[in-house]
Amino acid sequence: MPAIPAIAFLLAFLAAPLSSGASCLVKAAFGVSPPWGLTVLLVPFGPLIFRMKHRELAFPTRHWRRGATLLLVLFFINGGNADSLHALTDFGKGGDSDRRRR
């Protein structure tokens, strides 16, 4: 078993853009106007549209996007696949969880 389970990278990949990267984008959108802020929050492709219209304001979120991409690459390098999702159910159990799966 690797030192860091692949699922940890996948969870971090999902959490990073949702937490800080999205909050930077929402702040920038509300800085432009309240309708833009609501668009970024409520419309499914609103953040993408905002990034296309206001590239200079969305520029600081590039660090979060690059970090999230790095975490996804680490997930696959660490052997991440659909079977690695079973690590969530086995996390915290003793060493006999590997024996039960075989």
Cα atoms in the 13 Å half-sphere on the side-chain side of 80: 19
pTM score > 0.95 for this model?
no
Indicate the DSSP class of residue 43: S
Q: What is the pLDDT of residues 1-54, one digit of tens each?
A: 556 777 777 778 777 766 666 778 888 899 999 999 999 888 889 888 988 898
What are the backbone angles phi and psi of residue 60, rounded to the nearest 5°? -65, -20
Q: What is the pLDDT of residues 45-77, one digit of tens each?
A: 988 898 889 888 877 777 777 888 888 888 888
pLDDT at 86: 64
pLDDT at 14: 76
